[in-house]
Amino acid sequence: MASGFFAVLDDVATLLDDVASMSKIATEKTAGILGDDLAVNAEKASGFVSKRELPVLWAITKGSLLNKIIILPAAFLLSAFIPWMVTLILVLGGLYLAFEGAEKVYEFFVPHEHAHIPADLKVESKSDILAMEKEKIKSAIVTDFILSVEIVIIALGTVLNEPLTVQILVVSVIALLATVGVYGIVALIVRMDEFGTRLINFNKEENSISDIIGRFFVNALPVVIKALSIIGTLALLLVSGGIFAHNLDFLHNPIPALPDLLYEFVLGLLIGFVVLLLFKGAKKLFKKS
């Protein structure tokens, strides 16, 4: 009886060890898309009235958890019954990520028109503010859904040859990390300026240590969000290039001397611009018709 109990403990320990090692690999694989998820959500969660930032972020977090609840069972069913679909979805998702990254690069270098917002536009009532807030939350949750699909599929792709139990545990860990970790950091980022303001108002002295640190945090917020946006764009291209290079044999690195990281970035950028050109061409044809 005792030997059977210890055998079960040994099996559990082996399982947890496998889950821990595979979770580490899956986290490395999804790090790029997690970085983009962080950048996108930090941008979407900012710009609200100070007292509404955390409630809005909590609403988006609950939407993100619901997204994972929908996505995870579907991903595991595909893995169990149609495993080749996981690779197909992974590549299709890679095309979307490459397109998004290339579009950001294009918009940075090529001037384009922005939607014109009248200078005298005013929000008439509290209900208008809540409606605008609700729309931004909905947009953030939809974006989170797309990114969550990619995170789950990329994580699942790293454990596709493992037993189903390991797949479920590893991918669930990554999904939880993608929600709790990302939105926890986003909460710290969007409240950075509020923390800085509190430090500035901590005492009435001018140019005190608290004033200097407070101004640093206030001024740092837009810089941090901008930096995350740039890092997220680079990550999109690297992740997409890695998906193509590792899942399509004919796109493996043909030059051994060329670093894989550089090759995957260039590959993601080139494929992204091809998809972007096709998208813009199709858009023009649709408008003409």
The DSSP result for 150-170, as a single string, is HHHHHHHHHTTTS-HHHHHHH
Considering the chain, what is the average pLDDT of its residues? 77
Q: Which domain holds residue 245?
A: 28-113+123-191+229-283
- 204 found inside a domain: no
- 46 found inside a domain: yes
- 97 found inside a domain: yes
Q: What distance, in Å, lies between the first and last C-alpha atoms of the chain?
A: 76
Taking residue 224's Cβ as centre, other Cβ atoms within 10 Å add up to 14
Nearest to 64 by CA among 40, 91, 86: 40
Burial 91-104 (b: 16+ CB within 10 A, else e): eebbbbbbbbbbbb
- 260 found inside a domain: yes
The Cα–Cα gap between 209 and 202 comes to 10
- 58 found inside a domain: yes
pLDDT in tens, the chain (289 residues): 445 544 444 445 554 555 666 666 666 666 666 666 676 667 666 666 666 777 888 888 888 889 889 988 988 888 788 888 878 888 888 898 889 889 989 988 886 655 444 444 455 566 776 777 788 788 778 878 877 887 888 788 777 777 778 788 888 888 888 788 888 888 888 778 778 888 888 777 777 888 888 888 888 878 887 887 787 788 778 888 888 988 888 888 888 888 888 999 999 999 999 999 999 999 888 887 7
The Cα–Cα gap between 6 and 31 comes to 37
The Cα–Cα gap between 42 and 62 comes to 16
- 168 found inside a domain: yes
- 9 found inside a domain: no
Local structure of residue 231 (DSSP, 8 states): H
The Cα–Cα gap between 69 and 62 comes to 11
- 206 found inside a domain: no
H or E element at residue 139: helix 126-158
Cβ–Cβ under 8 Å, residues 141 and 60? yes
The Cα–Cα gap between 201 and 215 comes to 11
Burial 8-30 (b: 16+ CB within 10 A, else e): eeeeeeeeeebbeebbeebbebb
Contacts by residues 249-252 (CB-CB < 8 Å, ≥ 24 positions apart): none
Cα maximum dimension of the chain: 79
pLDDT per position as a tens digit, 247-282: 888 888 888 888 888 999 999 999 999 999 999 999
Structure tokens at 98: 């490459």
pLDDT per position as a tens digit, 2-32: 455 444 444 455 545 556 666 666 666 666 6
Taking residue 59's Cβ as centre, other Cβ atoms within 10 Å add up to 19
Taking residue 261's Cβ as centre, other Cβ atoms within 10 Å add up to 11
Number of domains, the chain: 1
